[in-house]
Structure formats: structure tokens, C-alpha cells
Structure 1
Amino acid sequence: MTAADTKAAGPPVPVPRDPEADGSPLSDQGGNGPLKQKRKRKKGELLPYLLILPAIVAIAAVYLYPLAKTVIMSFQDMGRRELWSGDPAPWVGFDQFTNILGDSEFWWVTFRTVVFMAVCVTLTMGIGLLISLLMRRLSNWVRLILTFCLIAAWAMPLMVAASIFRFMADSDYGLINTLIAKVVGEDWLGHNWYLDPIQGFAIITLLVVWGAIPFVVVTLYAALTQVPQELEEAASLDGASSFGIFRYVTWPVIKPVFSMVATLSVIWDFNVFGQIWLLRGSKPEPEYETLGLYSYSKAFESTSFSQGTAIALITVILLSAVAVYYLRQLMKTGEVE
């Protein structure tokens, strides 16, 4: 093209700039630009929180007020007169906590609670794991019957289960004494299991473990179904023993679920109240008091409501430490993966 032709064609026509190429705000005018996508992304991020907002509000309405009232009452000295008259209870600060932590009885009750919880959790998780492993080797119809029995036992009301165990451990007509007497001798007929707190807690432990095993078995069996069978078969072909297959193939897969169930069992067994209360006829002896019963005894039998709430608050703090430890382990597992 000659210079004359260029001059005749006139000045160069500017080419329209593509807004989407450089991220210009004008790109939103078309409806699919970065600004609109960013707004959609923000709405998508807020949607899960909006969906769980009603549940959060309900939980806050049910739990926050009692928790706040418990914290306030633990720093007061509320007795029967303040409860019935409505007069404000005197503020005593940390005196309730000082008296409780300085009482040797409180530490004995705490030690008893921890030991009882440890035994219950160990038996529950051990037996539950063995049964869940056994369910993998059962036929479908036998597994279905076993699952139905477990769910039926889990659905049984606590009062009914406690009545059954109370009858089984009865000193005169109990099934446990009758069976032991047939093996050992007639001396076991009429044996009272609750005269010795260790034997009494053995019966209570049976009730707690019996009620907790169904949940553990069903949950762990669900986790075991996620273990790749080809990995176990490969390990078996390589000469690994049954224990080696479980340790190096099965256990790493079910460990997160096992830890979660174990943590829940710790919290539940630490707060055992109804089983002891019902087996001891609503009047548990001091030797059978755990932290929950000890708090109840201080609050309603000794009419020291503030001291009872302080013990309950200490229990919550102890269980919160367990929950924090579990969350830290869960976060570490996520980081490793």
C-alpha cells in the first residue's frame, strides 16, 4: 500500500479493548465478569452458615442461658432461702472453687470417676472392635440378625435396662448368683454385690458397657467397610499375619473413626449418672458417687446450690480439655493426609 492510499483511508480505527482480558470492572456489564463471579462465590461461602443458623440459634437458646446461669451461680452463695425468696445471692468470688479444690473428698470422687470411666471405655472399645471385626466374617443374614439385636438393645430405655440388671444381680433371686452357685457352690446364694463398692461398680460397668457397645459396633463396622479388600488380600499374599494386616492395613483406615468414638465414650462415661442412680435405688451411697452424683448431692441434699454448680463447672472444664485434645489430634491427622 502506498502513502497516498494510507492517507486516503483516514486515521486508524481503534480496536475495542476486551474487558475480560485485563480484569476491568466493565467486564461485569456482560453478566459473567469477575465481579459477578466474586459475588456468587461469596454467596456460596455464606450458604452453609445460613443453613445451620437455625440450629445454632436453637442450641444457643437451650444451652447458653443455663451455662451462663451456672457460671454466675458458682461465684455466689445461693442457698434455699435465696432460691425460694428470689433475693439476690451474696457474691463470694472464688470461695466455692477454693473450698472444693481443697476438699480431699472431691479428689477421691474425681479419682473414682476417672478410674470408672477408663475401665468402661476400655471394655466398650475393646469388645466393640472385636464384634465389629467378627461381623465382617459373618454371612449376610447372620449379620442382619446381629445388627437388629444391637439396635434393639441400644433402643431399650435406661430404666428398663437398669431394672433387668438389678434383677440379675439380686441377692436372693438373681441370675448371676444362681449361675455362680452352680459352678462354685451354694455359698454364693444370697450374695449382695453392692456391699463391696468394687463388686458393685462391676455390675454398674456391665450395664454401662452393655448399653454403649451397640453404637460402637455399628460405627466401627461402617468404618471397616471402607477398608479396601484388595490391600488386605495383597498383604495376605505377601505373607502378612492376621495381626499384621490389621495393624498396617485396617487400623490406619479406621483410626479416625475409632478416635472419635473413643472420645465420645470418654465424655459419656465421665457423666454416668442414671445407671448408678437406678441400680442403687435412687439413694447411692457415698462410695458410689461420681462427679455427677457428687454435684447433685451437694446441690440438692446439702442445699448448697452454688457448690453443686461449681462442681458441675469443673466437670465441664475437665471434659473440655478432652475435647480440645481430640480436636488437636484430628487437625494433625488432616495435616498429615
Structure 2
Amino acid sequence: MSAADTTTPAKVPPPRQAPPPPAAGKPRRARTPGGATTTPWLLLAPCLLILALVLGYPLFRLLSLSFQKFGQSQLWGFQPAEWVGFDNFTKVLGDGEFWQVVLRTIVFAAGSVVFTMVIGMLVALLLQRVSGWVKTLINIVLVASWGMPIIVATTVFKWLFDADYGILNALLSKLPGVEMIGHNWFASGPQGLAVIMLLVIWGAVPFVVITLSAGLTQVPAELEEAARLDGAGAWGVFRYVTLPILKPIIVMLTTLSVIWDMGVFPQVFVMRNGHPEAEFQLLTTYSYDRAFVVNDYAQGSAIALITVLLLLGVVAVYMRQMLKIGDVE
């Protein structure tokens, strides 16, 4: 027997058993170090601090003024501010003019949002069916109009709708049987607010179009083709394929549009030369008028606070819709 045959054979270790799979319904979470949870908050801390200083103090001051008697005497220090509780809110909510302004603001914002979303969706859909250079040209025009300062855009619209020198009246007067020279578009509140609404829509449509165009690129072409093969027309494809995919974007755009259009101020203020008449008053201009024209800063603060609460209601609806969409996904 050779030496190789007399050596002791090496022992082979038994195979290791795989760990049991996790129980169903209890997914295992990867352990992260403790610093991973605090790092995002540390990075957000400067931004949160700036927001607290820029927004926190004005909101606190607005809240405190709405519960005080605060006019010019208190502003200049001749008399101390008096706490009056809910008296300012009682006066505001009991004023019929205030509710007319609220209704006018809601109608104005609703009309602006509906027309903005409809026009924006139509333009975004049309951009998917034009050539590349036309799409690029339209996008440049949209960005240019979107980037135009509000004061400049308002001045342009004032010139377009001027009673004596407006180009719109001149063009309409060239139609057979139409005489619009000297027509004052701001002689009545509804007609003047329609012009201001057109200005708001003109400034808001570019953002909606660009955002919806980006969302339309995420709609799978296979789903649209399958819907067409099943016999769906253009409206059916849009309703059952495109619209559900764009729903989160539409909800976001609608909510932002409501917030922006409820807070319209410079368009009305500049269009009416800094003195909006009663039939042109919205919540923002009405609050400004009560505070800086009537010099009742407390009531102006109360109206502004009520406006903030209305907008918070819109934000709550938006958050609820987004959470529903997240649960479905």
C-alpha cells in the first residue's frame, strides 16, 4: 500500500441550510443606520428655517391683527391695540358685500380654471400630432408668454381692450354691421371681469400645456393601439386610456390653478388703475381695500385669514385625492 493510500481523507463540511423565507404578509425591511433617518431632516433644516421666518411670522402677525382693533391710530402708536376677539370676523361674515365678493371670486376662479384646463389639454393633444419644428416653435412661444411679467401682460391687454385706441375694437369694427369703436369693455363688472379672466387664462395656459405634454409622453402607445383595435374611437381612447394615466397630473394642475386664480391681485389692480370698483372686487383686492384704503387693518387681516382658510380647504381636497391615487397604485 502506498503512502498516498494511508493518509486520512479530508472531512467535507455538511451543506449549510438556507434561512427560512419570511412569513407571508410581513415583508422584511432592510436595516438602515440611525443617521439615514436624520440626514434628510438636517438637509431640510435650512429650508424649513427660512420658510418659518418668511411665512411663519407674517401668518402669526395676520392672525393676531385679525383679533385686534387696529387702525391708523394704532399703527402710528397714538393708541394701543385692543383685543376684540371675534368681532372682526362677525362684522365681515355679517356683511352682505363680503359674500358678494366671495361668490364673485369663486365664479371667477372656477371659470378661469375650467377654461385653462380645457384649452391647455386641447393644445397639449394637438402638439402630439404636429411636426417637430412646429412643436418646437409653439413651445418657444408658450415659454415666452409664460415668462412675460404680469405687469407687462396686463399693460398689453389694457391696450388691446382700450375703448378709443384698442386694436380689438378696431378689428371687430371691420366686420359687417359691427361698430365697436369707443366701446368700453369695463363699463360693466361681468364684461370687465371676463377680460381679466382672459388675461389670467392667457398667462396660465402655457404652464398647463407644457406639463400635460410631458405627461402625454408617458402614455404607452401599446395601450392606445389596443383600445383602437377593440373598436374605441378618439374619444374612447382619451377617456379610458389617456385620462386615467394623466389623472394625478390633472389633479395637481387643477389644485394649483384654483390656488393661483383665487389669489389673483395684480391683474385686477393694474387693469383698474389701482382703484377697482365694487363690481370688480375679488377677495384679494377687497382685503387690500379694507386694509389700505379704508385703513381698517384688522378687518383686512380677517378677510385675508378667511381667504387662507378657503385655500387650505382646497389643499385638503388635493391631498385627499393624491392619497387615494397612491392607495390605488
Same fold at TM > 0.5: yes
State how 1:1-337 maps to structure 2 within 5 Å.
Answer: 38=31, 40-85=32-77, 87-185=79-177, 187-337=179-329
Deviations, residues 199-220 of structure 1 (Å, cap 9, x unaligned): 1111101100000001000011
**Residues 131-174 of structure 1: CA deviation (Å, up to 9, x unaligned):** 00111111111111111110000010111101110000011111
Cα distance in 2 for partners of 1:186, 1:234 equals 51
C-alpha contact 2:172 2:179 (8 A) present in aligned 1: no
Provide the rounded CA distance (Å) in 2 between the counterparts of 1:207 and 1:123: 12
| Deviating 4+ runs (over 6 angstroms) | none
Tell me if the contact between 2:113 and 2:257 (Cα under 8 Å) persists in the aligned partners. yes
Instruction: Give the Cα separation in 1 of the matches to 2:179 and 2:144.
Output: 36
TM-score (norm 1): 0.87
Q: Which runs of 5+ in 2 are unaligned?
A: 1-18, 20-29
Q: Distance in 2 between matches of 1:252 and 1:86?
A: 61
Q: In the TM superposition, what whole-angstrom CA distance separates every residue of 1:167-192 from its partner, at most 9, and x where no partner exists? A: 00011111111121111535311100
**Alignment partner of 1:41: what SS?**
coil
Q: Deviations over 1:26-57 (max 9, x none)?
A: xxxxxxxxxxx85x432222222222221111
Instruction: Look up the equivalent residue of 1:106 and give its one-letter code.
Output: F
% of aligned pairs identical? 50
Residue type of the alignment partner of 1:102: G
Q: Supply the AA of the counterpart residue of 1:46.
A: T
TM-superposed CA distance for 1:81, in Å, is 1.0
Between the aligned partners of 2:225 and 2:287, the Cα distance in structure 1 is 53
SS at match of 1:114: helix
Code of the aligned partner of 1:120: S
Question: CA RMSD, aligned part only?
Answer: 1.3
Residue pair 2:146, 2:207 contacting (<8 A) in 1 also: yes
Provide TM-score, normalisation by structure 2: 0.89
Unaligned runs of 5+ in 1: 1-20, 22-36
Q: Distance in 1 between matches of 2:124 and 2:34?
A: 43
How far off is 1:336 after superposition?
1.4
Tell me the distance in 2 between the aligned counterparts of 1:87 and 1:228.
Answer: 67
Q: Which moved more, 1:42-51 or 1:156-165?
A: 42-51
1:234-289 alpha-carbon deviations (Å, 9 max, x no partner) = 11122210010011111111110011000000000001000011111111111100
> 1:240 & 1:217 partners in 2: Cα distance?
25
Instruction: Using the TM superposition, name which of 136-145 and 262-271 deviates more.
Output: 136-145
SS of 1:283's partner is: coil
In structure 1, the residue corresponding to 2:219 is in which secondary structure? coil
Provide Cα deviations, 1:99-139, integer angstroms capped at 9, x if missing partner.
10000000000000000001100100000000001111111
Supply the distance in 2 between the matched residues of 1:81 and 1:183 (Cα, whole angstroms): 58
